Chains A and B, each alone.
Chain A
Amino acid sequence: MTKPDEIMDLSQIDHGVFRSFPFLQDHCITCGICSSSCPVSGIDGFDPRKLVRLISLGMKDEAVDSRWPWICTMCGKCQYVCPMDIHIPDLVRAVRSMRERDKVPGILHKGLEAAIRTGNNLGLPKEDFIFILEDVGEEIAEEPGFEGFTVPIDKDGANILTTIHNKLVNTHTEDLKHWWKIFYAAGEDWTVPSDQWEGTNWGLFTGDDQAMKTMVGRIADHMDRLKVKNLLWPE
C-alpha cells in the first residue's frame, strides 16, 4: 500500500502568496468542528475547513476568485470552537482584501469609496444632513414631555459622541428618535458630529485596512476635537 507521504511530500507544498499569513492555518488538524458549527456550510459547497485547506495549500486563485469568503459573515463561531485556535474570520477577511476592488461584490466598495470621498456612504451633503437632524429634532419637540428638545450637534465636552448609521438619515429617520428619546429620558449629555458622521465601516467587510483606518481616524478626531470622553458607535 502506498503511504500518504509517498503520494505527497508535504515539505514541497508551496504556500505561495499565503506564506506570510499569520492565522495559524497550517495548524489545522482537519477535525471539521468548524464546518459543523458554521451556518453557511453547504452553500456553494463551502465550509470553513475547505477554505483553510485552500489557504494552507497555497491555492490563491481558487480562494480569491470564489464566492466563499463573501458568503461567510466572519461571525467567528468556527474559531470559537476550533481546538487549534485558527483565526478563520481574519483569514477570510485577508482573502477578501486580495480581491480586485472593482470585483468586490454588491455595493460594498462603491459605498466605501463614497464614504472616503464625502464622509458618508450616501454622499449626503453636510447641509442636508444637518437639515434632517434638525427636522427630526423638531418633530420630537412637538411630543408631550419633550418640549424644547434640540439636537446637540458638535457640542464641546459632551459625555457621549454618537455616530450615525446612514440608513437613519435616509429611509429610516424615525429610528433616530428612539435613541434621542432614550438620551433625553436618561438626562444624557450627548452630541453628534456635523460631518464625517458615518458609523458603518465597510472597510471592515471588504478587507480594506487603509479605508478602515481612515474611517476610524475620523471618529477619533471628533473625540479629540470636541473633547468627548465616551463613544457610542452602535453598528
Chain B
Amino acid sequence: MVRKSFGDPVAEDLRFVVKTVVGEENFVDMYPNKSNNYCCGGGGGYLQSGFTEARHEYGRMKLNQILATGANYCITPCHNCHAQVHDLSEHYEAGYHTVHLWTIICLALGCLGENERTYLGEDLAEVGL
C-alpha cells in the first residue's frame, strides 16, 4: 500500500493513527521504514504457496527489524502481514506479540470484547474489561 500505491503520506497517516491509540511515547518506528521498508514475506501468495521454509527464511529480515526496536508489540495493518509476523515470532521464539491495527483501535476505544484478545500479551489482556 505504501511503496507501490499511495506513497509515504499514507504511511504518515498510519503513524498518526497508531500514535493516537497507543500514545506517542509508546511508539517505536522500525528502520528502514515507509517506502524503504522491507516486506514481511507473507504476501504475494507466499502464505498460500506451501513454501513454508523459504517463507521463514524470507522473514528473517523483518524479524531482525522488529527485534532491533525492542518493542513488545508489533502492529500489523493487513491479514497477510499479521499471519506472517505472528508466525515469525513463534517460529524463531522471538517473544514479541503481533496485533492487528483494528484490535488496538478497539482496545483504545474501550470496546474490545473478552474473546477478541487472542493476540494480546498478559500486560494488556485485562485492560478495559
Contact = CB atoms under 8 A, between A and B. Distances in A.
Contacts of B118: 174
A65 B43 CA distance: 21
Contacts of A179: 102
Interface stretch (B22-30, B56-64, B90-98): B56-64
Given A67-B51, A70-B45, A73-B43, A182 B109 contact: yes
B113 A43 contact: no
A178 B105 contact: yes
Contacts, number: 112
Q: In terms of DSSP, what is the predominant structure of the interface of chain B?
A: helix
A106 B79 contact: no
Interface stretch (A2-10, A51-59, A75-83, A188-196): A75-83
Q: Which of B38, B45, B115 has most A Cβ within 10 Å?
A: B45
Given A80-B3, A108-B49, A174 B111 contact: no
Nearest to A74: B44
A89 B45 CA distance: 13
Contacts of A61: none
Interface string A216-235: 00000000000000000011
A182 B106 contact: yes
Interface residues of B, number: 38
A60 interface: no
A71 B58 contact: yes
Nearest to B35: A80
Given A76-B4, A105-B51, A106-B45, A178 B106 contact: yes
Contact of B58 (A40, A89, A105, A206): A40
Contacts of B38: 39, 75, 77
A235 B82 CA distance: 12
Contact of B45 (A77, A178, A202): A202
A201 to B, nearest CB: 11
A15 interface: no
A76 to B, nearest CB: 5
Contacts of B116: 174-175, 177-178
A73 B39 contact: yes
B113 A205 contact: no
Report, nearest first, the 10 A-B pairs whose CB atoms are least far apart: A205-B45, A75-B39, A73-B44, A106-B50, A178-B102, A106-B49, A39-B61, A105-B49, A74-B44, A76-B4
23 contacts: A39-B58, A39-B60, A40-B58, A44-B54, A71-B46, A71-B51, A73-B43, A75-B43, A77-B3, A89-B4, A105-B50, A105-B51, A106-B51, A107-B48, A108-B45, A165-B79, A174-B118, A178-B103, A182-B105, A202-B45, A202-B48, A205-B44, A205-B48
